[in-house]
């Protein structure tokens, strides 16, 4: 280690790590870098003394022989988020002298895992916090799990007759089930079925908004929105209900201008527009009780507090204040009652509570294997030229010229090889020399004030690719599909300075299976700084804020399937401050194959028959045959991801 590096090492502090990875910027108060250089979880920021060391969680997962990758769920974080949103509304409502109540619902499409929904319902009980469903399967779940008669059940999405009957069953069971009309024909169907069954529905109307959300999902509003009624349809719907003697069933006005709204102004605009529609309907004689402002409360995934797509330029409190004060102002001007406020925040409730822990299982270096490049008389002049360059690198030389020459020789060598002018061996030597020259060029410019543009790109082309045991299509699908930034951080070793950097690749056979956008020092970088780690010990990376959508939208690309999951509860009396409450086994190979219509048990029989045949003709010994049969069955029953167990 030279002196400079030595200084860097002693000067590196946890604050430097924090600046590099921005953990407290995106962590929402739930994550921090501990003094020992490990990521710590703060399950309930209001009880500030409880800290869970993620390393301890990983150690326990290993002791339990649970294979990685693993989804880790922190139920306390989920509860904290529910309490936080409800308490913030309570505070702002009382501070504003607002006369309506807050009656939030959690849209289960954001994460339908039963344990997640149960935890949210339980934490929301004191607030009469409800659920939202957008499809028949979700409605069936919500009917069974939202059994608080005071909490709302909001039904969005396109509906058929069965959907509507299920909603009316909910009314029979004494629940506040609101059927939100997304398109006009649903209303005529609802009126028909309600009259047939003689059950009084609670009706909501979804308005197509003019106010545009910014960001990825701005198509959720405007004329071409997929859902909702335009103004003339809203008037027609209200009048139809009145004519059918069901005017008093109309209780709710709904809008939703898109998910992950980066810009607070869009929220203010929408609240204004929605409040005016509400007020006018009330003045037309409809006693609406609720205004549902939908979802959209954003998450600061990149920690920049900006209007970037992966961020938001407001806090939860500002969001709540804009909703409540905006609604109050319009209602007071219009002289109508303050309605109860519904929100459908999903992302904001669930994003922080889960993360994916994956193991680094290999490092792919761009320069491959360095082979012996010593000179031979027969060397082609392209190889001689490259060697000459490599042998004469000193501080006097013009490194930009070296870069240009080496790049040119390499291109020429590639052509020469295709034209059968140089041999495979010569090409291999040229490649080795080229990469060692590039490393020197990069080193020369380190810390320099001016770095030529092409040399800057060396940082990326010389960086490693860390092969990680997970599938991006299963665990972080938005990072592939819509370029969503998700925080990725090494779980340990952050008290020491990074020694290397690289991008991540997953284990699918798909070149898109990679992550090469990270938020480093508050800016987007293509490589992740990595602390030193030993290849004898497993090294873990955390993919954070995966609790919203990522958890449940993953697909079966390469048949990897769902991850093993552990559910963590904090527990103050435990020496480690936590315990694993539940282990949910991930997909087995058998399971993913049967989803694709295979018959794993007959496959096993078939393989056994083939092995038996080889045994009968003496190609495999009988004992060996039994072992191979068992092994095939063992793999069928096993986990789909790489087994990195060294035992």
Ligand X SMILES: *Cc1c(COP(=O)(O)O)cnc(C)c1O
**Residues contributing to the site for ligand X (CB under 6 A):** 107, 109-110, 156, 256, 259-260, 294-297, 344-348
**Least Cβ distance, residue 515 to ligand X (angstroms):** 22
CA distance 38 to 34: 5
Minimum distance of ligand X from residue 227's CB (angstroms): 7
For ligand X, the closer of residues 156 and 464 by Cβ is 156
CA distance 289 to 547: 32
C-alpha angle with apex 588: 582 to 590, nearest 5 degrees?
145
DSSP-assigned letters across all residues of 48-62: TT--EEHHHHHHHHH
CB of 474 to ligand X, least distance (A): 20
Cα–Cα distance for residue pair 297/315, rounded to 1 Å = 9
DSSP character for 299?
Answer: -
Indicate the residue among 295 and 487 with the shorter CB distance to ligand X: 295
Residues facing residue 355 across a β-bridge: 72
- Residues 471 and 514: their CA atoms lie apart, in Å, by 9
Q: Determine the Cα–Cα distance for residues 363 and 467; give it in Å rounded to an integer.
A: 6
CB of 254 to ligand X, least distance (A): 8
In angstroms, the first-to-last Cα distance of the chain is 35
Q: Which residue of this chain has its Cβ atom nearest to ligand X in the complex?
A: 295
**Within 10 Å of residue 88's Cβ, how many Cβ atoms?**
19
- The nearer residue to ligand X, 109 or 517, going by C-beta atoms, is 109
- For the CA atoms of 331, 336, 339, 344, the dihedral, rounded to the nearest 10 degrees, stands at -50
- Dist. CA 500–CA 515, nearest whole Å: 16
- Shortest distance, position 255 Cβ to ligand X, whole Å: 9
Confirm if 518 and 498 have CB atoms less than 8 A apart.
no
Minimum CB distance to ligand X, residue 209 (Å):
12
CA distance 214 to 207: 18
- For residues 199 and 168, the answer to whether their CB atoms sit within 8 Å is yes
Q: How far from 437 is each of 57, 375, 431, 454, 573, CA to CA, in Å?
A: 43, 17, 10, 14, 57
To 10 degrees, what angle do helices 264-283 and 316-334 make?
A: 30
Alpha-carbon distance of 30 to 44, in angstroms, equals 7
The rounded radius of gyration (Å) of the Cα atoms in the chain is 30
Please report the sign of the dihedral spanned by the C-alpha atoms of residue 432, residue 438, residue 440, residue 443. negative
Q: How far is CA 36 from CA 32, 128, 440, 501, in A?
A: 11, 41, 34, 21
In angstroms, the CA 122 to CA 107 distance is: 15
Nearer to ligand X, 354 or 640 (CB): 354
DSSP 205: E
CA distance 592 to 491: 30
* Residue placing its CB nearer to ligand X in the complex, 37 or 296: 296
* Cα 228 to Cα 206: distance, rounded to the nearest angstrom: 5
Say which residues have a Cβ less than 8 Å from residue 216's Cβ, sequence separation at least 6: 258, 259, 260, 309, 482
Length of the chain: 647
Q: How far is the CB of 346 from ligand X (least distance, A)?
A: 3
Q: How far apart are CA 317 and CA 85, in angstroms?
A: 9
Q: Which element (helix H / strand E) includes 472?
A: helix 472-475
* Closer residue to ligand X, CB minimum distance, 361 or 552: 552
Rounded least distance, CB 52 to ligand X, Å:
26
- Cα–Cα dist 486/484, whole Å: 6
CB of 267 or CB of 620, closer to ligand X: 267
Closest CA to 23 of 432, 511, 505, 490: 490
């Amino acid at each position: 280690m030279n002196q400079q590096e030595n200084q860097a090492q002693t000067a590196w502090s946890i604050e430097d790590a924090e600046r590099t990875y921005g953990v407290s910027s995106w962590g929402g108060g739930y994550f921090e870098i501990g003094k020992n250089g490990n990521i710590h979880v703060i399950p309930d920021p209001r009880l500030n003394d409880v800290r869970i060391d993620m390393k301890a969680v990983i150690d326990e997962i290993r002791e339990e022989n649970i294979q990685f990758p693993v989804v880790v769920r922190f139920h306390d974080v989920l509860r904290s988020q529910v309490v936080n949103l409800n308490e913030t509304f309570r505070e702002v409502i009382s501070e504003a002298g607002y006369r309506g109540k807050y009656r939030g619902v959690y849209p289960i499409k954001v994460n339908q895992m039963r344990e997640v929904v149960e935890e949210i319902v339980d934490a929301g009980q004191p607030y009469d916090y409800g659920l939202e469903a957008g499809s028949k399967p979700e409605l069936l779940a919500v009917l069974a799990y939202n059994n608080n008669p005071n909490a709302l059940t909001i039904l969005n999405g396109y509906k058929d007759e069965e959907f509507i009957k299920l909603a009316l069953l909910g009314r029979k069971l004494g629940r506040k089930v609101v059927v939100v009309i997304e398109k006009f024909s649903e209303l005529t169907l609802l009126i028909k079925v309600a009259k047939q069954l003689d059950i009084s529905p609670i009706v909501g109307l979804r308005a197509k908004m003019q106010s545009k959300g910014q960001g990825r999902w701005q198509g959720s509003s405007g004329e071409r929105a997929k859902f909702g009624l335009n103004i003339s349809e809203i008037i027609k719907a209200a009048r139809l209900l009145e004519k059918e003697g069901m005017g008093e069933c109309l209780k709710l006005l709904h809008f939703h201008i898109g998910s992950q709204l980066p810009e607070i102004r869009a929220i203010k605009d929408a609240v204004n527009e929605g409040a005016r529609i509400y007020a006018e309907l009330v003045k037309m004689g409809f006693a609406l009780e609720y205004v549902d402002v939908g979802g959209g409360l954003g998450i600061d995934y990149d920690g920049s507090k900006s209007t970037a797509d992966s961020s938001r330029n407001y806090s939860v409190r500002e969001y709540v204040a804009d909703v409540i004060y905006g609604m109050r102002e319009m209602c007071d001007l219009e002289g109508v009652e303050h309605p109860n406020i519904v929100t459908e925040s999903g992302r904001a409730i669930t994003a922080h509570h889960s993360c994916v822990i994956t193991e680094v299982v290999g490092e792919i270096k761009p320069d491959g294997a360095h082979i012996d490049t010593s000179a031979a008389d027969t060397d082609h002049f392209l190889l001689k030229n490259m060697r000459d360059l490599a042998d004469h690198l000193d501080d006097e030389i013009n490194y930009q010229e070296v870069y240009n020459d080496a790049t040119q020789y390499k291109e020429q060598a590639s052509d020469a090889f295709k034209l059968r002018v140089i041999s495979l061996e010569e090409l291999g030597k040229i490649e080795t020399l080229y990469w060692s020259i590039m490393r020197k060029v990069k080193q020369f410019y380190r810390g320099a004030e001016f770095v030529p543009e092409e040399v800057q790109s060396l940082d990326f082309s010389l960086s490693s690719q860390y092969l990680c045991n997970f599938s991006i299509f299963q665990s972080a699908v938005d990072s592939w599909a819509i370029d969503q930034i998700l925080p990725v951080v090494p779980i340990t070793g952050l008290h020491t300075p990074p020694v290397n950097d690289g991008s991540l690749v997953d284990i699918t056979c798909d070149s898109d299976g990679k992550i090469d956008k990270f938020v480093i020092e508050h800016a987007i970088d293509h490589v992740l700084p990595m602390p030193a780690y030993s290849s004898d010990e497993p090294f873990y990376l955390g993919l954070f804020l995966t609790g919203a959508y990522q958890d449940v939208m993953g697909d079966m690309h390469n048949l990897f399937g769902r991850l093993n999951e552990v559910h963590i509860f904090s527990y103050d009396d435990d020496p480690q401050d936590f315990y694993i409450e539940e282990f949910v086994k991930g997909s087995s190979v058998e399971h993913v194959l049967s989803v694709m219509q295979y018959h794993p048990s007959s496959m096993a029989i078939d393989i056994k028959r083939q092995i038996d045949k080889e045994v009968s003709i003496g190609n495999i010994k009988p004992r060996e045959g039994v072992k191979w049969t068992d092994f095939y069955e063992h793999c069928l029953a096993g986990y789909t991801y790489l087994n990195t167990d060294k035992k």
